[in-house]
Amino acid sequence: MTTRTTFLGLGAMGSALAVAALDAGRPTVGWNRTPHRAQVLGERGATVADTVEDAVAGDGVIVACLYDHESVHQVLDPVVARLSGRTLINLTTTTPNQARELAAWAAEHGIDYLDGAIMAVPAMIGGPGSALFYSGSTSVFDEHRALLDLWGESSYFGTDAGLASLQDLAMLAGMYAMFAGFLHGAAMVDSVGVPATEFASRQAPFLAAMTGSFAHVAAIIDAKDYAGEGQQSLEFTQAALDSILQASIDQGVSVEVLRPVRDLVRRQIAAGFGKQGSDRIFEELRNTR
Amino acid sequence: MTTRTTFLGLGAMGSALAVAALDAGRPTVGWNRTPHRAQVLGERGATVADTVEDAVAGDGVIVACLYDHESVHQVLDPVVARLSGRTLINLTTTTPNQARELAAWAAEHGIDYLDGAIMAVPAMIGGPGSALFYSGSTSVFDEHRALLDLWGESSYFGTDAGLASLQDLAMLAGMYAMFAGFLHGAAMVDSVGVPATEFASRQAPFLAAMTGSFAHVAAIIDAKDYAGEGQQSLEFTQAALDSILQASIDQGVSVEVLRPVRDLVRRQIAAGFGKQGSDRIFEELRNTR
C-alpha cells in the first residue's frame, strides 16, 4: 500500500503539491490554517484534518509548505511529541541557515528531515520545466523519490540541509539581476520612445545567446585564470560601463542597478588588476569572507 | 566601379572592418596612428596612407573606428576642410550625446554623417551573429548598405545620431547585469565548495529559458498594467530578495549587486504599490526624469 501523505499548508503551492499526490492515487491528508483551501482539496478526495494534531496522527510522511520559517515552528512545535520517528519534507521557503536550524531541531526530536526548494510556480508543478532541489536526509530522498518525482525533476545536493535553499537562491540571484538589467535597458530606450516590447524582441535572443558563455566564464573562475589570453579586460569593461552610466544619466535613467557593477570593476582595477579579465569581479564578491 | 573606402583607425576592430572590405574586392585605404597595423593591411592589398591628410584625399566613403569620441576630433579636426561633401561612417564607441555632438559638428562642416555601434567582437565581423546598429543620415545608410552588410546584420534606428549608441548600450546594460548576477550566484554556491562550472550548467539553461518571459514583461510595461492579474507582487519579490541577501551575508558573499534591486522594490512598496506586479520597478528606474 502507498504511504499516506499529510500536507500542512494549502496555499497555492501547497495545494498544487497535494493535488499531484491525489492525482497519483495516493492517500492524502490536508490541513490549512484557514479551512477553505482544505475543503477544496477534500472535494477532490483528500481527508481533511481540522487540527494539526489530527493531521499528523497516524503514520505516513509529512509535507510542510507554510508561509515562512517561523510558521513552521508555530505549526509543528505544539505537536513535536507526535513527530518522533516520523519523516518531514519541508518545502517552505527559507534561507540556508533557517533550513539548517530546522534540521537541527528535527534531529533533536528524532525526526527524519529533508529540506526542499521549488524552482517552479504552482501552475508548473507536475509538468515540464518544474524542478525541485533537496538536501538533508539521504534516506528520505531515496525512500520517497516516487512522491518527489510527482512534482518535478528532483535533484539532491547533500546532507547539509541548507544546500537546497542555497542552490535555489543562487539561481534566483542570477534571475533577478538579469530582469533588473533588462528593465534598465528598457528604461534607456523608453527615453527616446522605443516600446519595451520592441526592445525585448532584441534583448531576449541576445541574452539567451550570451548564457552560452557561462561555461567558459565558470572555467576561468574555477581555474583562477584571470590573466589568461583573450579575456575582456577590467579596463575595457570599466570603459563600457562608464559609457552605459553616462548615457543613462544623460537620458534620465537611474544608474542604481549598474553603478555597483561598475564599482566592483573599479575596485579590482584599483587593486592592480586592470589588464586582467573582467570575470575577476567574482573575487570581489567573495571578498567578504 | 565600387566606391573606395578609407579606414581611419586599425585596431583589432578597425582592422576586421577593413579586411572584410578587402576580402569583398573593394578598393581600400588604411591609416593608423602607429604604422604597424596599416602595414599588415597593406600586405593584404590595401593602400597604406602615411597621414590622415593622404588618407582622406580623393573620393570615397570614410570609416572611422578610433579609440574614443575625443580621438575622432583629434584625427578629423585638422583635415575638416577636406571633408565637406564627403560621407563619414563613425563606428567609434561613444555615448549617445557624443554621437549627437559629432553629428552636429559634421552638419556644420557639410559632412554626411552615419553613426554606428557594433554588437560583436572583432573575430565575429562578417560572420554569423554579428550585428551593427546605425543612426543618423538615412541616405548614407541606404547608399552604402552593401558595405555595411559586409560586417554583419545592419539595423537602422532613425535620424537622431545618438540612437545606435543608445540601443547598443541598452543591450549591454542587460548583459552586464546578467553576468554580475551569474557571478553573484556562483559566489553563493562557491561558499559551500560547488564549482562555478557546475553552477553554470544549471544557471545557463534557466536564464536562457527565463528570457522567454521578456515579451510578457514588456507588454505589461508598455500597457502600464502593473495591477493586472497573475503577476508576482512587489511584496513577494521583496521577500525573495531579502532571503537572497540574508543567505549571501550568512555565506560571506557581497550583496552589492542585488541590494540595489531589493531597494528599488522596497521604494515601490513604500509608495503604496506592494500588491502590484514587480515589473513596476521599471517606473522607479525612469523616475529620475
Query: What is the tens place of the pLDDT at every residue in B145-204?
Result: 999 999 999 999 999 999 999 999 999 999 999 999 999 999 999 999 999 999 999 999
Q: Which CATH superfamily is domain A5-158 in?
A: NAD(P)-binding Rossmann-like Domain (3.40.50.720)
pLDDT band at A230 (very low <50, low <70, confident <90, very high): confident
Of B129, B174, B200, the CB nearest to A215: B200
User: Would you tell me which residues 101-140 of chain A have a C-beta closer than 8 angstroms to some C-beta of chain B?
Assistant: 119, 129
Residues of chain B predicted below pLDDT 50: 289
| Pair B19, B41: CB distance under 8 Å | yes
pLDDT score, position A108? 98
Q: What is the pLDDT of residues A13-48, one digit of tens each?
A: 999 999 999 999 999 999 999 999 999 999 999 999
Nearest-Cα distance to chain B for A40, in Å, is 20
- Establish if A245 touches chain B: CB-CB under 8 angstroms: no
Q: Which long-range contacts (C-beta less than 8 Å, at least 24 apart) are formed by B74-80?
A: B75/B8, B75/B9, B75/B33, B76/B8, B76/B52, B78/B52, B78/B53, B79/B52, B79/B53, B80/B109
Residue A289 has pLDDT above 60, yes or no: no
Chain B, window 2-61: residues with a beta carbon less than 8 angstroms from a chain A beta carbon: none
Q: What are φ and ψ of residue B156, in 5° steps?
A: -110, 130
Which of A95, A203, A257 comes nearest B260 by C-beta?
A: A257
For residue B188, give the nearest of A166, A215, A241 by CB distance. A166
Q: Which of B167, B169, B194, B224 should one mutate to test binding to chain A, selecting the residue with the greatest count of A CBs within 10 A? A: B169
Return the pLDDT at B207. 96
User: For A273, which DSSP code?
Assistant: I
Q: Which residue of A has its CA nearest to B202?
A: A171
- What pLDDT does B289 receive? 46
For the CA atoms of chain B, what is the radius of gyration?
Answer: 24
| Three-class secondary structure of residue A82 per DSSP | helix
Buried/exposed B181-202: b ≥16 CB within 10 Å, e otherwise: bbbbbbbbbbbbebebbebbeb
Contacts of A239 in chain B (CB under 8 A): 68, 93
Report the residue from A178, A219, A237 with minimal CB separation from B181: A178
Please check whether residue B179 touches A, CB under 8 A.
Answer: yes
The per-residue pLDDT of chain A, averaged, comes to 96
- Contact assignment for A243 to B205 by CB distance below 8 Å: no
Answer whether B184 sits within 8 Å of A173, measured CB to CB. Answer: yes
Partners of residue A171 in chain B, C-beta under 8 Å:
185, 202-203, 206
**Average pLDDT of span A81-107:** 97
Q: Which DSSP string corresponds to chain B?
A: -PPPEEEE--SHHHHHHHHHHHHTT--EEEE-SSTHHHHHHHHTTPEEPSSHHHHHSSSSEEEE--SSHHHHHHHHGGGGGG-TT-EEEE-S---HHHHHHHHHHHHHTT-EEEEEEEES-GGGTTSTT-EEEEEE-HHHHHHTHHHHTTTSEEEE--SSTTHHHHHHHHHHHHHHHHHHHHHHHHHHHHTTT--HHHHHHHHHHHHHHHGGGHHHHHHHHHHT-TTSTTPPBHHHHHHHHHHHHHHHHHTT---TTTHHHHHHHHHHIIIIITTSBGGGHHHHHTTT-
What are the residue ranges spanned by the domains of chain A? 5-158, 167-286
Nearest-Cα residue of chain A relative to residue B165: A247
Sole residue written with cell 554580475: B180
pTM of the model: 0.93
Query: Chain B partners of A205 at a C-beta cutoff of 8 Å?
Result: 211
Contact B243 A95 (CB under 8 A): yes
SS (H, E, C) A204-264: HHHHHHHHHHHHHHHHHHHHCCCCCCCCCEHHHHHHHHHHHHHHHHHHCCCCCCCHHHHHH
B95 closest CB neighbour out of A174, A190, A247: A247
A245 has pLDDT over 80 = yes
Record: contact A261-B257, CB cut-off 8 A = yes
Number of neighbouring beta carbons within 10 Å of residue A102: 25
| CB of A263 less than 8 A from some CB of B | yes
- CB within 8 Å of chain A, chain B residues 77-106: 93-97
Closest chain A residue to the Cα of B120, Cα to Cα? A206
Is B222 within 8 Å of A180 when comparing Cβ atoms? no
Which member of A169, A192, A247 has the closest CB to residue B244? A169
> Which pLDDT value is given to residue A288?
67
Does A76 score more than 90 pLDDT? yes
**Residue A189 contacts B where some CB pair is shorter than 8 Å:** yes
Q: Please determine whether the domains at B5-158 and B167-286 fall in the same fold group of CATH.
A: no
| Residue in B closest to A257 by C-alpha | B260
Cα–Cα distance for residue pair A242/A262, rounded to 1 Å: 7
The pLDDT, as a whole number, for residue B288 is 66
Residue A113 contacts residue A140 (beta carbons within 8 Å): yes
Residue A58: pLDDT band (50, 70, 90) is: confident
Q: What percent of chain A has pLDDT over 70?
A: 99
Residue B172: name the closest of A229, A274, A181, A215 by CA: A181
B188/A165 touch (CB, cutoff 8 Å), yes or no: no
- Give the number of A-B residue pairs with CB atoms closer than 8 Å: 329
B194-199 own/partner pairs: CB under 8 Å, 24+ apart: B194/A167, B195/A218, B195/A222, B196/A217, B196/A218, B196/A219, B196/A221, B196/A222, B196/A282, B197/A215, B197/A218, B197/A219, B197/A222, B199/A170, B199/A218
Chain B neighbors of A156, CB-CB under 8 A: none
Cβ atoms within 10 Å, residue A87? 22
In CATH, B167-286 is 1.10.10.10: no
Angle between helices A234-251 and A259-268 (to 10 degrees): 150
The beta-carbon neighbor of B192 closest among A160, A264, A279 is A160
